[in-house]
Chains A and B, each alone.
Chain A
Amino acid sequence: MPTDVENWKSEVYGNEIRDHLFEFAEQGFDSIPDDERDAWFERFKWWGLYHQRNGQEGYFMMRIGTPNGVLEPGQLRTVGEIADEYARGPGTNPIFGDAYADFTTRQSIQLHWIELSDVPAIFEKLEENGLSTQQACGDSWRNIVGNPVAGKDAQEVIDAWPVIRELNETFKGNDDHSNLPRKWKVSVTGSADGSGQGDINDLAFEPAYKEVDGEEVVGFNVRVGGGLSRNEPRLARDIDVWVSPERVSDVAGGLSALFRDNGDREDRYNARIKFLVDEWGAEKVRDTLQEEYVDFELHTAGRDVREEYTYNTGAGERNDLVGIHDQKDGTNFVGLNVLVGRMGAEDVLELADVADEYGSGEVRLSQRQNVIVTDVPDDELDNLLDEPILEHYSPSPSPFMRGSVACTGTEYCSLSIVETKNRQVRYARWLKENVELPEDLDQFHIHLSGCTASCAQPQIADVSLRGMKTRKDGDPVEALDVGLGGGLGENPQFARWVTQRVPVDEVPGAIANLVESFADERDEGESFRAFVARHDEDELDAFVDPEETDYEDPMMHNTKRTWYPYAENDSMEDAPSPPADD
């Protein structure tokens, strides 16, 4: 039997939601019929609006999909202005203030405390500036990810940016692909560094060479069925297909249609294509694609460049895109660390000015929640580096700052079990002050995800932290499971969960002890990931060794029972009413 969500989608979904959304916005939040709220909140996601968790009724998270993380000149300023004007609510974050933008692990942007009545004005401003929330959430093509510096990167094998643009234009607002069984996450990468992180996407295009008509040409190998969520992580499976850039749209559309027609619409937990690939196997996916969804002969896979991958691998160069890097046009891109991806609205506006002054005004967002200023000439580099804003958003940060990734957490998210962003900031600051990594390491990735949905991609970090609960001195407290040794690369590896339910105030001590054991016992030049790989789980559990330190955690209690974790009067009884319509 189809789920309620499928029934709602069959009634109204896709582009047509917008008219209803605007009508509700005009008539006020209370005009949504009481017995239709679940249905409309589910549908609003397709237009990038997610009702915030309970205690925050009537406020929405708004996600802006920026394909490949590309913000053209002027667009960052638009985001900053919208955040400043509209992303203000009744709660003040003690670290980030009243208005901010979140850069996500899928190269998108999230704003919070959005009121329904403001949505038409926000959409108008976004669209005037070439931005959109369309399909940023919901069951369809999500924001397409890749190497954010596609088209500029000196290490590029093939420029994936035209391909990504074509896919975005073809499959955004496309009625044939607007109602899929579940979300559909696509990665297209043209660089040899693996920074598109294709392995953890539903559909991945990765650079590969193929001999066609006696000539070696560059295109993409295709993988299907990756993803991290729900304790069921999968790496995308090789379906033995190579495709030319001109045919990517045909193959992507074929696979999207295959998923549309064959995904499980009766059980949302089983709906993602990773489960269909489990059931069918890669060969059947390929055969079905060939026989039913494309009208040309598919090539077999080409020669990939996976052995060159470095991004998020835990070893070698360019584990992220922070720092100064060469562009192929002779200018530079400068990756800036944005701790946990959150930037105050004033800083967003200032960075837009800086990007304008020293580069082309364009910025790009990476999957490590960082921002990249592009097109900076050599003779402007020193001036850019002297800008005060780069003291905070540094191109050469501490390994613990640059390695931090965190999801939204209980501040706004219904599914999260623990507070995340502020906690990860506090962890990173404490680790920076108190822990010494071996001198030859400038990278150490710690990803904190509030639950098994894995929005912070915890399974592909050196240290993976995942929200849990435990009791401490008999009282329930927020806790984290600790996993070690995850990473991507030629041979990707998910973290092994070695220590369970560490009270959150003992996690910094646990990481300090772990790093100390690593420093003492590693082989010369050994990476952390390699060190983890040669130890068994009992040994690793012993290295973790949770311990109280002078780190203090003000969010030990059940932050989900608050209307806002940092409010002075935080109980649900003190929750604000839905915003008045004005």
Chain B
Amino acid sequence: MTTRLRVLDDGAWISVNDAREVRVSELWRLDAPDLCECTLTDLVVENFQTVGVDGSTVEARVYGQCIACGETGITDWVPIGRVRGGEFTELDRGAVRRVRREA
């Protein structure tokens, strides 16, 4: 089954199968040593750049700012949810997300 993934409206949200599933303005905890020096990045999500999949995991590259240290930048691939049986489930907002570097 094909899953349609898109970044739309100037990076405001991620569409999964033509439904608005993930939006900007959330705070995510990231394990993202390439973005900033904080133990965990406290990232405010300002723009989605691209969206993709790794197995059943939907991932996005995100522009944002760590609100602990002020560092800004574009992340590597951050998990945002899973697709199973064609249904998308968003990752728990409190989860610590491990960033996957581009292979």
User: A residues touching B (Cβ–Cβ < 8 Å)?
Assistant: 4-5, 34-38, 42, 53-54, 229-230, 268-269, 410, 413-418, 451-453, 467-471, 476, 479, 500-501, 558, 560
Give how many B residues have a beta carbon under 8 Å from the other chain's beta carbons.
26
Contacts A414-B13, A469-B67, A471-B67; A451 near B24 (Cβ below 8 A): yes
Q: Are A500 and B70 in contact (CB under 8 A)?
A: yes
A468-B44, A468-B65, A471-B67 known; A38-B10 Cβ under 8 A:
no
B27 and A410: CB pair below 8 A?
no
Cα distance A467–B65 in the bound complex, in angstroms: 12
Residues of A within 8 A of B15 (CB): 38
Closest 4 CB pairs of A and B: A414-B12, A415-B12, A469-B44, A560-B25
Partner of B46, one of A268, A410, A451, A500: A451
Verify B67–A34 contact, CB threshold 8 A.
no
Enumerate chain A residues within 8 angstroms of B57, measured Cβ to Cβ: none
| Complex alpha-carbon distance, A501 and B19, angstroms | 31
Interface flags, B7-31, vs A, CB<8A=1, else 0:
0111111010111100111110000
- In the complex, the answer to whether A414 meets B44 with C-beta atoms within 8 Å is no
Return A500 CB to nearest CB of chain B, in Å: 6
Interface centre among A4, A37, A38, A500 (most CB of B within 10 A): A38
Query: Interface on chain A toward B: helix, strand, loop, or mixed SS?
Result: mixed
Does the CB pair A417–B25 fall under 8 Å?
yes
Query: Are B44 and A4 within 8 A (Cβ)?
Result: no
Given contacts A471-B42, A479-B67, 19 further A-B contacts (CB under 8 A): A5-B8, A35-B4, A35-B18, A53-B12, A53-B23, A230-B47, A269-B11, A414-B9, A414-B12, A414-B20, A414-B23, A414-B24, A417-B24, A418-B25, A467-B25, A468-B65, A471-B67, A501-B70, A560-B24
> Which residues of the other chain, A, contact B70 by a CB distance below 8 angstroms?
500-501
| Alpha-carbon distance A35/B17, docked complex (angstroms) | 7
Give the nearest-CB partner of A560 in chain B.
B25
| Residue numbers in A under 8 Å from B25 (CB-CB) | 410, 416-418, 467, 469, 558, 560
With a CB–CB cut-off of 8 A, which chain A residues contact B8?
Answer: 5, 38, 42
Which of the residues A37, A410, A417 comes within 8 Å of B44, measured between beta carbons? A417
Per the bound structure, the CA–CA distance linking A507 and B19 in Å amounts to 36
| A320 CA to B82 CA, complexed, in Å | 51
Set of chain A residues within 8 Å of B97, measured between Cβ atoms: none
Nearest-CB distance from A565 to chain B (Å)? 12
CA distance A479 to B42 in the complex (A): 14
Of all chain B residues, which has the CB nearest A479? B67
B6 CB contacts on chain A under 8 angstroms: 4, 38
Residue of B nearest to A414 (CB): B12
Closest to A467 in B: B25
Within the complex, what minimum Cβ distance (angstroms) separates A170 from chain B? Answer: 28
Bound CA span A501–B70, Å: 9
- The answer for the CA separation of A500 and B70 in the assembled complex, in Å, is 8
Q: A35-B4, A269-B11, A453-B10 are in contact. Are A415 and B24 (CB under 8 A)?
A: yes
